[in-house]
Amino acid sequence: MRPVIGVTCSVDVGADEGGKLRAYVNSAYTDAIFAAGGLAQPIVAPGEVDDGLLAELAGRFDGFLFTGGADLDPRHYGQARHAKTHVMHTRRDALELEMFRAADESGKPILAICLGCQVANVGRGGCLVQHVDDLPRKTGVEHHKPGGASAFHEVELEAGSRLAQITGKQRFEVNSRHHQVLDREKVGGRLRPVAFAPDGCVEAAESTEDRFLIAVQWHPEDLIERPEHLRLFEALVSASS
């Protein structure tokens, strides 16, 4: 049987639906899981979250995919809101970190993408840089474009890292559409940065423990025609089997 991967959902108000609240997940995420041999099931943020529900969700799935989306409320890591920070809907914000911590506590495999990467870092006690363009950088690397289009740049992976072993490469091109990054001085506990953009920004981190927890800033779900990106989902599904 295919392992069941719980996939976090975005939440917003649909203008084309009379202002009704909607929960959704981009099909690229679920397509990537299906292509890798897994079964994708959405985790929809409820109106209220309690410990019992979190425990039930953590126990229901074989592995987890934390997807991209708008920004975490910076109160979660002790900062005031930056003018460029666009906080996700309060319903998702109330679930995301607690869901990550419950999944993390379960020890089950986790792949975290873009926002998910940031959630993993904050969930383990780290901090974020709220707007990457504020950082002093020697190399002009685009991490985001206006209107949500992807920029592209290379990343360099740490030799011997789990991520390098999975992708089979130490350098490759990624797509980039994030304006926040992990704070290199305040990386979460039991996480280590293992991939970097040419300007030194952290592009991926993984658990220091003997388990599958990989967090990447780019969007591999949109690049599964390239083997190094599909392998991330194949590794998640394999670890969840």
Please give the average per-residue pLDDT across 92-107, as a whole number: 97
Please give the average per-residue pLDDT across 89-111, as a whole number: 97
At 15 the pLDDT is 64
Q: Which helix (H) or strand (E) holds 33?
A: helix 27-35
Pick from 16-25, 124-133, 185-194, 226-235: least confident: 16-25
Please give the average per-residue pLDDT across 57-79, as a whole number: 98
Please give the average per-residue pLDDT across 137-153, as a whole number: 87
Please give the average per-residue pLDDT across 19-26, as a whole number: 92
At 82 the pLDDT is 98
pLDDT in tens, 36-51: 999 999 999 999 999 9
**Rounded percentage of the chain residues whose pLDDT exceeds 90:** 93
Name which CATH class applies to 4-240. alpha beta
**Strand runs (DSSP E) across 72-117, as ranges?**
110-113
* pLDDT over 80 at 144, yes or no: yes
- Rounded alpha-carbon distances, angstroms, from residue 41 to 7, 57, 66, 229: 6, 11, 12, 21
At 138 the pLDDT is 62
| Token digits of residue 201 | 């920004």
Confidence bin at 18 (pLDDT 50/70/90): confident
Q: With CA atoms as reference, report the closest residue to 133 among 85, 87, 92, 91.
A: 85
At 161 the pLDDT is 98
**Rounded percentage of the chain residues whose pLDDT exceeds 70:** 98
Instruction: Locate the domains of the chain by residue range.
Output: 4-240
* pLDDT over 90 at 137, yes or no: no
pTM: 0.97
* pLDDT over 70 at 101, yes or no: yes
> Would strands 191-196 and 181-182 be described as parallel, antiparallel, or unpaired?
unpaired
* pLDDT over 80 at 33, yes or no: yes
pLDDT in tens, 151-200: 999 999 999 999 999 999 999 999 999 999 999 999 999 999 999 999 99
Sequence-distant (≥ 6) Cβ neighbours of residue 171 within 8 angstroms: 154, 155, 156, 157
* pLDDT over 90 at 115, yes or no: yes
> Environment class of residue 106 by beta-carbon count within 10 Å: exposed (0-12), middle (13-18) or buried (19+)?
middle
At 140 the pLDDT is 77
